[in-house]
Structure formats: C-alpha cells, structure tokens
C-alpha cells in the first residue's frame, strides 16, 4: 500500500513538473528561513544553560529606590557575597565577579590591550562550569598574583607553548598563569578572556564598603531552596546591612539574557517572522493542491469505487504532502548549509548544522518537517477525500468552484502576512534612520575619541598643541566620558541650595576639560561655559536641562551645588543632549571642570569640510607614536559608537528584509501557480469571449481583478495588526517616529504591484492565445 502511494506521488511530481517545482521551491525557501531562524532562537534560548548547576545559580540584582523612579542594575557591594553565604543557610556558595577596564597585557614581545579582564573569587570555578584544559578549579588561584586565561588568549600570547607557570604583565602587575580554560561559549552572559583573584583587586585598594556598587554577585542555592522565599526575606535583610536606599534580589541565571537583557522580545519577533514565512509556504501548497483537485478528482472517485475508504485516501494525500515536504526539506538543508556562512556574518554567531551538534536542533528540524507536512497536507487530504464518487464519475462535478472560497481566504491570509512583513521592514528601517539622524544636542560627526594611555595626562597640553598644528583638526579636548560611551553616576554625594533632604535622585556626571562643551558643539542656554582663565571654575558646575529639572531649581545659575565632597556654584545650563541611545530618555548630567588625572579620553574634532579623514587619523597616530611609542594607538568615531547601540534593531532590520523578500517571493510563486491554473481552467471561456469580441485588455482585467480585490482586502486585514505590532515594538524607544500612514500605503502599493506583475504574465499570455486553437478540442 505504502509503495503504491509512494509510486503515485513520485509519478505525479514528475508528470506535473512546473507545479511540483513551485510547491517544492516555495516550501524549501520557507524551510530555509525557519531553519536559520530556529538556529538563532535555540542558541538564544540556551543562553547560560551550559552550566551544570544552571538550575541553582542566581545573580543578585540591586533595586535602587530614588524619589521619582526605581532602577535595577546587576552591580553590588563587595561585602554582599560573603555576608549572604554566612547568614543565609539556603545559599550554598557565593562569589563576586568584577569586570576591569581595558589594560595593557604583555608577555615577551606580545603586548595588546585587553578588554576581557575580570576578577573573581576562587569559588567562581566551582559554581560555574568553565572547563579547565590545564590546571584545575581547585588550584585556580594558589597565590595572589595568579591569572587564569582562556585557550584563545593562551594561543595569542604563548602560541603552542604550555603557559602554566609562565608570567604575564598586566600594566605594572606581574602575574603567573595558573590555569587555562576552554573559550567561553558565545551564549554566556559572563564573558572574559582572563580572570585574576578577587583578593588581588582588594589588595590594590578596591572599595569594600556597602555603598560601592561595582561588582557582580552570584549565588548557588542548596537543592530544594526557593529563590522566591529568599527574595521575600531579602528586603529586611538588606535594611539591616546597608543604609543605602536599595533592595537586593535573586534573579535566575537563565532569566538574565531572556528577560533582563530583553532577548525574549527578539526570540518572539524572529519566531513570528519564521512562522509567517512557513505559513505562507504552506498556504501555497494547500492552494495549489486544492486548485489542482480537478485533475485528481477522477482518481479519487475511482479509488472510492474500487474500495478505498476515506481514511485510505486521507492517508494517501498526507503521504504525498509528506513526500513533497521531505524533498523540500532535503533541498532546504542543502540551501541552509550553503547560506550558513552569510547568516553567521549577519547574526555574528557561529552556527553549524551538524547533527552531532545538538539534539534540540535535530528535533526542531524534524518538527518543522512534520508541521509543514501536516499543515500543508491536511486541507488537500480532507478536501480531496470528501469527493462523492458518483458526481465525479457522472461528470456533474465542477472543478472550478471547489474550495474556491477557502482558496480566496488563504490567499488573503498569505497577502496579509506579506503586508505585515513589509510594513515591519519599513517601520524598522525608518526608526533606525530616525535614531541615527536625530539631532543629539551636540555634533557627533567627525568627532574622534581616543582612550588615554600611560602618562599622556601629563603630556596633554603639548600633545594637544601638536595636534592643533594640523589644519584638518578643529579642536582637541578631554574628559572622563562621552555621550554614547562611559559615564559616571552618583546618588549619594549630591546636594544643592534648597534641596529637599528626603529627595534621593540619581545623576550622571562628566569630568571635563574647559573646552569640552565647545568642542562637542553643545549649547549653553543660561549662564556661561567654563573658562580656562577663571581658576575657581574647577569647583563650578554646568547642568543640563534634565538635571535642572531634577533639582527643581527655578533659576539655577549662581546656586550652590555639591557633588562628591566638592562644593561650588552652578555657572551655566547646557541644552539637553543625548548621553544614551534613543531607547533611553535624556539623563540628568552634571559637567564639572577637573584636572587631567580625571580624564580617560581625548577628543579630536575634525574640520567638517575636510574630506581626507584617513590622513587626519594617520597624523594623529603618528603624533601619538612620538608621545607614547610603547602604547598602541586606538580610536573610534562617536557617531559609530551611537550606531552600535542599535545593533539589535539593525540585525532585526536585516533579517526582516530578507524574511520579507523571501515571504513575498514565496507568495508570488503561489499566486503565479494559482493564476496559471485558473487561466488553464478558463481557456475555453477566454476563447469564447474572444470570439464574441472581448479585447485583450478586457480579458487581462478579468483575470487580474480578483487578485487585486484579494490584495486590497488583505491590506484591510493586515493594517491594524501591523499597526499594533509596530507600535509595541516602537515602545522600546524613548524617542521614536510616528507611525503615520506612509508605511501602510507603501506596503499596499507594493503588495498589489508585485501581485499584478506576477499575474500579468499569465493573463496576457492567455488573453493573447488564439481562440481557434483553444476551442478546437471541444
């Protein structure tokens, strides 16, 4: 029986090559999209799940209560870990992790800046699963000056030599390599290239009081302990330990990436895109199968007459769609394999399709095949098997109208999904463009930031004057941070004239050189800018509008202000500028003029009209090399830093682009098949109409009218859904575009135009056909 079905299916595929091609190609493309997106989704879902203790690991999050708002961050005081472990019996183990700023690392001739430096307690390696290649978790940090490095870092500095026992220099520290661990999986929220003992950090003077929220704390619970219960006791516990307005709570390891970092949103979005494309492909399959039922009807009738029950037929048609699905699947696997490198570049991940890779991927793939086969096979199976044999055998069965309404509905669904994808693509594109182009309140173009190394702070003035020799350079300044980059924050040591003593607020601050505001192109709207000639300005402050609003001061200029034990006067108000991406509101920022040892970056403004940026950068590098020959030169452009904060959206935009193209392509394939089929069915009608004098235009209009109608209906269905979805997405941005009508109208025009183009070939072809030929066979 199976063999019989199989044979019929294969012969049918072969006999109707065009139809089979449309079906298989559509399904295969749909599957490729689903497979690739599934790889991404599984990878995201598996974030941080590779630790053996995964279920018992939690991160401590600080919930800080300011007067107007509550803020959550994963930084905690250094004392928290040991206090928790000692006082809470449910907590089996705890450790601290600090991420260090960039430092110069050296071994022999090899020296590089390393960003991935961290420091942790020895228990870190017991709690988390980072397997050792050399050394062991128990002997990770035998002495204060130890370092555990990843395999990649070991190769970078030591080549194929065994690094254990060898020494590395980290700035002025001399450290002995005591362990080599496997490279950190990409889907881990903890990322580092090397770890030092946390005790070393403390011996170097790291703050250990309860107010310094600088370190991450992780805890391992006893099996059976409930983190909900602990979270209920923690507020009281916190209050007993720290005077700060904070509460600590436990957050499960797997929640960090999905919920805290918001990956779940993109998992949903991408899953929906994949589902849309797959549904569009399945609809093609159903539509073409039912449209083609006229050809299959006699066979169905006949099989019933010679003894087939309905279940036999349902089984047969399911079998056929499964076979087509499997063929499409094999093609999809081959195509996915070919497209994997491009997809890896797009997502910045390293996916592979090898079966041994993991069982989830495999079962996911099987699920896709089964789902596609069942969804696309179900309607044809039940529809075709329900034919009454008498009507078919008698010839009273009309093929054209069978399932026509269902087919129309499916086409509308297909169109609607495509339109939603098109609207999504346009909106995402527009929002990214808006975010990149919106005025930030300063001029981010042609502004270079250079991290300060070595003793450059002492040589700053001569370095600056050398740079200014070049006529491409318009200005040079320095500061502790920059918009789109690092920024300091403070809630404790803040005071001003007339401050409500109960008010707890959080403000950001930069320590800057006197010409920072001018060089960045920020505007002073009240008072004055800092001046190098007024020595008392080192105690004075400039606030941005948001900060003024936070203080509640009516006329801030001239008021007393205190930040971190330094009291001075507010001398000016700066117009608001964006310190973060468009996801966030403009924060309250305090600017203060501070001496060079507080600076971490030098900023160079290039002249706007100067076109040869490369030679200017080259000039800066040459100057750097004369001043600091032992330190490599590094720089970045501020506008690029800002663009990087939209990498999630950019990636989504790209995937949406491709997804939409694929979805629309598949839908077009399907509509092409349907119209070809309809034209074939109506050959006789077209012939008669032509004999009766219908013009070519008339016939083309007749054949295309329905598709246009369906397209318009689909727009009405899709618009509210797209509107709702895109509004939800835009809510993530504090600064966002208005949806407006443009994306919808563009999507409507585009969808109908593409459909028309698809349909026109067949319609014109049949409209031009010779009626004598088409009618002769009747």
Partner 1 sequence: MIKLKGISKWYKTGFSNTYVLRRINIDVEEGEFITIMGPSGAGKSTLLHIIGMLDTASEGEYYFLDSEVHKLNEKKRSAIYKENLGFVFQSYHLIDELTVYENLETPLLYKKVKSGKRKSMVCDILDRFQIVGKKDLFPGQLSGGQQQLVGVARAIISTPRLLLADEPTGNLHSEQGKEIMDIFKKLNGEGTTIIQVTHSEVNASYSRRIIKLFDGWIKD
Classify residue 250 by burial, with Cβ atoms within 10 Å: 0-12, 13-18, 19+: buried
SS (H, E, C) 645-679: CCHHHHHHHHHHHHHHHHHHHHHHHHHHHHHHHHH
* Nearest CB to partner 1, comparing residues 11 and 398: 11
* Nearest CB to partner 1, comparing residues 7 and 698: 7
Structure tokens at 63: 């919930």
Q: Which of 587, 562, 504 is nearest to 246 (CA)?
A: 504
Residue 751 to residues 133, 663, 741, Cα–Cα distance (Å): 56, 11, 15
* Nearest CB to partner 1, comparing residues 151 and 312: 312
Q: How far is the CB of 324 from partner 1 (least distance, A)?
A: 15
Q: How far is the CB of 36 from partner 1 (least distance, A)?
A: 36
Q: How far is the CB of 321 from partner 1 (least distance, A)?
A: 16
Q: How far is the CB of 18 from partner 1 (least distance, A)?
A: 17
Q: Is 226 helix (H, G, I), strand (E, B) or coil?
A: coil
Q: How far is the CB of 8 from partner 1 (least distance, A)?
A: 5
CB atoms within 10 A of CB 86: 10
Q: How far is the CB of 301 from partner 1 (least distance, A)?
A: 8
Scanning the structure block, which residue is given the tokens 């299959």? 296
Beta strand 216-221 with 91-99 is antiparallel
* C-beta separation of 492 from 242 below 8 A: no
Q: How far is the CB of 312 from partner 1 (least distance, A)?
A: 6
* Nearest CB to partner 1, comparing residues 12 and 762: 12
Helices assigned H by DSSP within 514-637: 516-520, 545-551, 613-627
Q: How far is the CB of 372 from partner 1 (least distance, A)?
A: 24
Q: How far is the CB of 391 from partner 1 (least distance, A)?
A: 9
Phi-psi region of 103 (alpha: psi -120 to 50; beta: other; left: phi over 0): beta
Collect all residues with Cβ–Cβ distance below 8 Å to 695 and sequence separation of at least 6: none
Q: How far is the CB of 377 from partner 1 (least distance, A)?
A: 18
Scanning the structure block, which residue is given the tokens 């750097």? 624
Give the chain's count of helices (H) and strands (E).
24, 25
Rounded CA gap, 63 and 114, in Å? 31
* Nearest CB to partner 1, comparing residues 7 and 398: 7
Rounded CA gap, 110 and 130, in Å? 26
* C-beta separation of 166 from 158 below 8 A: yes
Q: How far is the CB of 304 from partner 1 (least distance, A)?
A: 8
* C-beta separation of 521 from 608 below 8 A: no
Structure tokens at 469: 């020799």
* Nearest CB to partner 1, comparing residues 392 and 652: 392
Collect all residues with Cβ–Cβ distance below 8 Å to 675 and sequence separation of at least 6: 703, 707, 758, 759, 762, 763
Q: How far is the CB of 313 from partner 1 (least distance, A)?
A: 10
Rg of the chain over Cα atoms, rounded to whole angstroms, equals 34
Rounded CA gap, 450 and 467, in Å? 13
Q: How far is the CB of 10 from partner 1 (least distance, A)?
A: 9
Residue 120 to residues 103, 148, 169, 209, 538, Cα–Cα distance (Å): 17, 10, 18, 17, 37
Helices assigned H by DSSP within 128-216: 151-158, 198-203
Q: How far is the CB of 378 from partner 1 (least distance, A)?
A: 21
Rounded CA gap, 670 and 287, in Å? 8
Q: How far is the CB of 277 from partner 1 (least distance, A)?
A: 32
Rounded CA gap, 402 and 384, in Å? 10
What is the maximum span of the chain, computed from C-alpha positions, in angstroms? 106
CB atoms within 10 A of CB 306: 8
* Nearest CB to partner 1, comparing residues 17 and 209: 17
* Nearest CB to partner 1, comparing residues 311 and 437: 311
Q: How far is the CB of 394 from partner 1 (least distance, A)?
A: 7
* Nearest CB to partner 1, comparing residues 396 and 535: 396
* Nearest CB to partner 1, comparing residues 63 and 312: 312
* Nearest CB to partner 1, comparing residues 4 and 139: 4
* Nearest CB to partner 1, comparing residues 6 and 610: 6
Any idea what DSSP says for residue 597?
A: G
Q: Is 480 helix (H, G, I), strand (E, B) or coil?
A: coil
Spell out where 8-139 has E strands.
57-65, 70-73, 91-99, 103-107, 110-114, 117-120, 132-134
Q: How far is the CB of 379 from partner 1 (least distance, A)?
A: 21
Rounded CA gap, 346 and 359, in Å? 24
* Nearest CB to partner 1, comparing residues 84 and 313: 313
* Nearest CB to partner 1, comparing residues 1 and 692: 1
Beta strand 70-73 with 173-181 is unpaired
Rounded CA gap, 372 and 283, in Å? 10
Q: How far is the CB of 649 from partner 1 (least distance, A)?
A: 52
Q: Which of 371, 381, 413, 370 is nearest to 283 (CA)?
A: 413
* Nearest CB to partner 1, comparing residues 172 and 778: 778
* Nearest CB to partner 1, comparing residues 308 and 570: 308
Q: Which of 469, 80, 132, 407 is nearest to 247 (CA)?
A: 80
Rounded CA gap, 55 and 53, in Å? 6
* Nearest CB to partner 1, comparing residues 306 and 692: 306
Structure tokens at 148: 């555990």
Rounded CA gap, 39 and 553, in Å? 54
Which residues lie near partner 1 (CB under 8 A)? Answer: 1, 4, 7-8, 11-12, 15, 298-299, 301-309, 312, 389-390, 393-394
* Nearest CB to partner 1, comparing residues 20 and 760: 20
């Amino acid at each position: 029986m199976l063999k019989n079905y199989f044979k019929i299916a294969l012969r049918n595929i072969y006999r109707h090559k065009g139809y089979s091609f449309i079906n298989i190609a559509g399904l295969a493309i749909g599957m490729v999209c689903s497979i690739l997106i599934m790889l991404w989704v599984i990878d995201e879902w598996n974030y941080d799940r590779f630790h053996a203790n995964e279920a018992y690991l939690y991160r401590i999050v600080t919930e800080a209560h300011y007067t107007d708002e509550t803020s959550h961050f994963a930084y905690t005081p250094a004392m928290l870990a040991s206090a928790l472990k000692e006082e809470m019996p449910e907590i089996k183990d705890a450790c601290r992790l600090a991420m260090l700023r960039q430092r110069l690392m050296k071994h022999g001739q090899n020296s590089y800046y390393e960003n991935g430096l961290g420091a942790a307690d020895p228990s870190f390696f017991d709690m988390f699963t980072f397997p050792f290649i050399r050394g062991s978790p128990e002997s990770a940090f035998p002495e204060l000056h130890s370092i555990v490095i990843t395999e990649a870092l070991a190769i970078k500095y030591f080549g194929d030599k065994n690094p254990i026992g060898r020494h590395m220099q980290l700035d002025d520290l001399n450290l002995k390599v005591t362990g080599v661990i496997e490279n950190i999986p990409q889907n881990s929220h903890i990322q580092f290239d090397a770890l030092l003992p946390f005790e070393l950090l403390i011996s170097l003077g790291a703050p250990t009081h309860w107010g310094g929220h600088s370190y991450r704390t992780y805890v391992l619970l006893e099996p059976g302990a409930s983190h909900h219960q602990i979270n209920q006791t923690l507020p009281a516990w916190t209050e007993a330990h720290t005077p700060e307005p904070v509460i600590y709570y436990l957050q499960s390891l797997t929640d960090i990436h999905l919920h805290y970092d918001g990956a779940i949103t993109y998992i949903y979005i991408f899953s929906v895109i994949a589902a849309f494309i797959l549904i569009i492909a399945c609809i093609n399959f159903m539509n073409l199968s039912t449209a083609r039922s006229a050809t299959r009807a006699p066979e169905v009738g006949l099989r019933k007459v010679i003894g087939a029950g309905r279940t036999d037929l349902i089984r047969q048609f399911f079998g056929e769609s499964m076979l087509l699905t499997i063929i499409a699947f094999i093609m999809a696997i081959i195509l996915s394999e070919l497209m994997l490198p491009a997809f890896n570049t797009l997502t910045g991940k390293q996916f592979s399709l090898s079966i041994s890779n993991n069982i989830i991927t495999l079962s996911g793939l099987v699920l896709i095949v089964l789902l596609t086969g069942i969804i696309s096979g179900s309607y044809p199976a039940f529809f075709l098997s329900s034919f009454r044999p008498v009507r078919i055998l008698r010839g009273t069965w009309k093929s054209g109208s069978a399932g026509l309404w269902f087919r129309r509905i499916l086409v509308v669904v297909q169109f609607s999904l495509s339109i939603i994808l098109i609207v999504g693509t346009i909106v995402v594109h527009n929002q990214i463009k808006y975010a990149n182009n919106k005025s930030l309140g300063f001029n981010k173009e042609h502004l270079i930031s250079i991290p300060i190394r070595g003793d450059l702070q002492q040589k700053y003035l001569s370095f600056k004057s050398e740079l200014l020799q070049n006529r491409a350079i318009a200005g040079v300044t320095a500061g502790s941070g920059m918009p789109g980059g690092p920024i300091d924050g403070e809630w404790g040591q803040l005071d001003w004239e007339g401050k409500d003593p109960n008010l707890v607020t959080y403000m950001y601050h930069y320590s800057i050189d006197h010409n920072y505001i001018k060089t960045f192109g920020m505007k002073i709207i009240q008072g004055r800018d800092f001046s190098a000639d007024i020595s008392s300005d080192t105690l004075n402050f400039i606030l941005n509008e948001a900060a003024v609003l936070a203080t509640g001061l009516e006329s801030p200029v001239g008021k007393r202000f205190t930040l971190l034990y330094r009291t001075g006067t507010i001398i000016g108000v700066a117009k608001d500028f964006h310190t973060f991406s468009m996801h966030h509101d403009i924060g309250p920022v305090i600017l203060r003029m501070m001496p060079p040892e507080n600076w971490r970056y030098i900023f160079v403004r290039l002249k706007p009209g100067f076109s040869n940026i490369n030679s200017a950068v080259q000039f800066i590098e040459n100057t750097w090399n004369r001043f600091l020959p032992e330190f490599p030169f590094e720089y970045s452009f501020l506008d690029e830093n800002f663009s990087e904060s939209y990498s999630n959206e950019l990636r989504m935009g790209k995937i949406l682009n491709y997804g939409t193209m694929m979805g629309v392509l598949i839908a077009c394939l399907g509509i092409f098949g349907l119209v070809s089929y309809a034209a074939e069915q109506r050959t006789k009608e077209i012939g008669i109409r032509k004999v009766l004098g219908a013009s070519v235009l008339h016939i083309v209009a007749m054949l295309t009218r329905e598709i246009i109608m369906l397209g318009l209906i689909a727009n009405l269905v899709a618009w509210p859904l797209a509107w709702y979805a895109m509004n939800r997405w835009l809510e993530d941005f504090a600064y966002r575009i208005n949806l407006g009508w443009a994306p919808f109208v563009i999507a409507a025009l585009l969808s109908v135009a593409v459909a028309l183009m698809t349909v026109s070939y067949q319609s014109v072809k049949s409209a031009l056909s010779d009626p004598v030929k088409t009618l002769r066979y009747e």
